[in-house]
Amino acid sequence: MGGLQAQSHGNGGNAEARKLKNPVEATAQSLAAGRELFTKNCRSCHGADGKGEGPMKPKDSHPSNLTDADWQRGGSDGEIYAVLRDGAGPEFIMRGYKSRMTDKDLWHLVNYVKSLGSKSGH
């Protein structure tokens, strides 16, 4: 651990968030809850399939492809959770959901988002 660790929310992940434990098991029930939340809150930007081509994504924005193995902000459960909670800075085209969702819902979404990736063969 050097002194020049990437700060949270930048490229290269979020060392603090990586330590968080996902308290919600990725059961079929959790995935179903996550899917519903995704359809309601995330599809507009990330697309129904999670590939980042949502019908309402803001002009000139590039919502991440959530189905590939590339996690610009870190691919651990805790790091994905931190993006959902706090939003994707520094521009925050994607705003955080912490005031709009329960913690449990955020973890359901983490489970769902991760399941998208495994379906594409990675």
Residues near ligand HEC, by CB under 6 A: 38, 41-42, 44-46, 57-58, 61-64, 66, 71-73, 80, 83-84, 88, 93-94, 97, 109, 113
User: Which residue, 3 or 55, has its beta carbon nearer to ligand HEC?
Assistant: 55
∠79-39-8 over CA atoms, to 5°?
15
Nearer Cβ to ligand HEC, position 24 or 109? 109
CA–CA separation, 43 and 21 (whole Å): 26
| Closer residue to ligand HEC in complex, CB, 30/46 | 46
| Separation CA 25–CA 45 (nearest Å) | 26
In the complex, minimum distance from the CB of residue 16 to ligand HEC, in angstroms, rounded to a whole number: 15
Separation of alpha carbons 44 and 57, rounded Å: 6
Structure tokens at 70: 């590339």
**Which residues partner with 95 through β-bridges?**
87
Distance of closest approach, residue 74 Cβ to ligand HEC, in angstroms: 6
The nearest distance, CB 110 to ligand HEC, in angstroms, is 8
- Which is nearer to ligand HEC, 38 or 107 (by Cβ)? 38
Helices 103-119/28-41 angle, 10° precision: 100
Q: Smallest distance from the beta carbon of 28 to ligand HEC, in angstroms?
A: 19
